[in-house]
Amino acid sequence: MPATSERIASLDTYDIRFPTSRELDGSDAMNPDPDYSAAYVVLRTTEGGDEGHGFTFTIGRGNDVQVAAIGALRDHVVGRSVAALCADPGSLSRDLVGDSQLRWLGPEKGVMHMAVGAVVNAVWDLAAKRAGKPLWRFLADADPGWLVSQVDFRYLTDTLTPDEALELLRRGRQGAGDRAAALVHRGYPAYTTSPGWLGYSDEKLTRLARQAVDEGFTQIKLKVGADLDDDIRRCRAARAAVGPDIRMAVDANQRWGVEEAVAWTRALAEFDPYWIEEPTSPDDILGHAAIRRGVHPVRVATGEHVQNRIVFKQLLQAGAVDVLQLDSARVAGVNENLAVLLLAAKFGVPVCPHAGGVGLCELVQHLAMFDYVALTGTTENRVIEYVDHLHQHFLDPVVVTGGHYRAPASPGFSAAMKQTSIDTYTYPHGTFWAADAARAAAAAPAATAAGAPGQDTEVPA
């Protein structure tokens, strides 16, 4: 129980970047060479002890801009009562989203909105730690009326009212204790994207796809969208490797316009793709609806780049998605994701969260597990994305065995990175990047002579 005089003493930010582009991990049709990064925030209190950790995921350049945006929220946070914050994270969420001057930079989208998400998630991490529970259980144990109070219904009430949300949460509480026990026993279903990165050879794809099945996954995912002939060849190889009973999703990462999305997806239909993910711009609600009509029975999935609850609302209103892929660090944190989960529950659309990157698996598992235990009560047709990258940098990394996420037991949101990882990968002065710059400087005269000045972290051909 925090002392009533305890305040937030500091909001510290870190620009952390991992050189993932060098291995083509994470390569897809729109993101050929990501350096998985975190704009990371730590809230410390006047009494010491538990800290709140949160972050925004980015893929390299611009992580400094994201860090600056988080810093712009500092004055809203430092000095606040820890007890009041933990009792009502929504009050901070509303203040951050509603800052009338900062709001102009969105509103409720992009860099500024993701910064709000990082800070709000750090507060939930702190609140769950202070309650001594992993976040999923902290949420599942919460009073339904209190959960409703944590949601910003502005721009939602034509579709979801507070009373409807309360009813959904009250129904969700029935049997929650049994489901929590089942979750701890069995875990939550996962699918894996690890085999399907676009930069991988067919041999590596096939090998990793077989391995995924051996490990107990019942769904894999392949990146598509750069070249149709390549996609046909890769889908054929993957389908042959996993057999007819494993679900195989494909992901275009926003590569196409509407007509192209329909044509391309139809051309892959013979390989029985389970869903086509991000076929076009995440902003194109009506486009997704048209694509869904055009590619049936292939399902349409999107959400990792959907900017806020208002766009999710419309994707559901327009019947534009079969699968909703919320992301833990794209919208304004847990509070807005509660709204998204409630919207999906009302429409009966399964949520299969986006994960991967750095730390996204660690965060989002809590939201899906809460949804199962205390909202929709089911994992049918629901899977959390899993990518086996960078978990070693976290203090409480995800555990995935037998194709299932194991329920976290440690208090908090599983967001905290190891201090050694922070020290090593902070950009540009952490030990890895400083050494990298020294190597580049030593090699520079040769590179210039070879006619390649100004290149930085290019992927080797």
Catalytically active residues, by annotation: 223, 354
Contact 413, 206 (CB under 8 A): no
Rounded to 10 deg, the angle between the 360-374 and 334-347 helix axes is 50
Residue among 185, 246, 192, 261 at smallest CA distance from 222: 192
Residues 291-320 that bind its own copies (CB under 8 A): 305, 307-308, 310-311, 313-314, 317-318
22 contributes a contact to its own copies by CB under 8 A: no
Among 31, 46, 81, 381, binds its own copies (CB under 8 A): 31
283 contributes a contact to its own copies by CB under 8 A: yes
81 contributes a contact to its own copies by CB under 8 A: no
Q: Which residues contact 282 (CB under 8 A, 6 or more apart)?
A: 254, 302, 303, 304, 305, 306, 307, 311
Among 3, 65, 438, 459, binds its own copies (CB under 8 A): 65
CB 267 to its own copies: min, Å: 18
Among 3, 5, 47, 79, binds its own copies (CB under 8 A): 79
SS3 state of residue 124: helix
- Residues 241-280: x/- map of binding to its own copies (CB under 8 A)? -------------x--xxx--------------------x
Alpha carbon distance 406, 376 (integer Å)? 19
- Antiparallel, parallel or unpaired: β 247-251 and 404-405: unpaired
Across 72-109, b (16+ Cβ under 10 Å) vs e yields bbbebbeebbbbebbebbbbbbbebbebeebeebbbbb
Among 2, 52, 54, 60, binds its own copies (CB under 8 A): 60
SS3 state of residue 51: coil
287 contributes a contact to its own copies by CB under 8 A: yes
324 contributes a contact to its own copies by CB under 8 A: no
Single-letter amino acid code for the residue at 162: P
Alpha carbon distance 206, 23 (integer Å)? 18
Contacts with its own copies by CB under 8 A: the residue count is: 63
Beta-bridge partners for 281: none
Q: Using CA atoms in the order 58, 382, 24, 67, what is the torsion angle rounded to 10 degrees?
A: 10
Residue corresponding to tokens 């925090």: 2
Q: Return the structure tokens found at 411.
A: 């208090």
Beta-bridge partners for 81: 7
Q: How far is CA 53 from the centre of its chain?
A: 16
**Nearer to its own copies (CB atom), residue 149 or residue 218:** 149
Among 20, 45, 66, 365, binds its own copies (CB under 8 A): 66
CB 63 to its own copies: min, Å: 9
**Nearer to its own copies (CB atom), residue 183 or residue 285:** 285
Among 46, 91, 149, 281, binds its own copies (CB under 8 A): 281
CB 211 to its own copies: min, Å: 28
Q: Among 57-65, 117-125, 174-182, 407-415, which window interacts with its own copies (CB under 8 A)?
A: 57-65
58 contributes a contact to its own copies by CB under 8 A: yes
- Antiparallel, parallel or unpaired: β 8-17 and 52-58: unpaired
In order, the DSSP letters of 183-194 are: HHHH-EEEEEEE
Phi and psi, residue 312, nearest 5°: -60, -45
328 contributes a contact to its own copies by CB under 8 A: no
CB 62 to its own copies: min, Å: 5
Rounded to 10 deg, the angle between the 285-295 and 258-267 helix axes is 30
Contact 103, 140 (CB under 8 A): no
Contact 309, 331 (CB under 8 A): yes
- Residues 145-164: x/- map of binding to its own copies (CB under 8 A)? --------xxxxxx------
451 contributes a contact to its own copies by CB under 8 A: no
68 contributes a contact to its own copies by CB under 8 A: yes
64 contributes a contact to its own copies by CB under 8 A: yes
364 contributes a contact to its own copies by CB under 8 A: no
**Nearer to its own copies (CB atom), residue 25 or residue 108:** 108
Residues 94-113 that bind its own copies (CB under 8 A): 99-113
CB 151 to its own copies: min, Å: 14
- Which residues contribute to the site for its own copies (CB under 8 A)? 30-35, 58-62, 64-66, 68-69, 72, 79, 99-114, 153-158, 254, 257-259, 280-287, 290, 305, 307-308, 310-311, 313-314, 317-318, 454
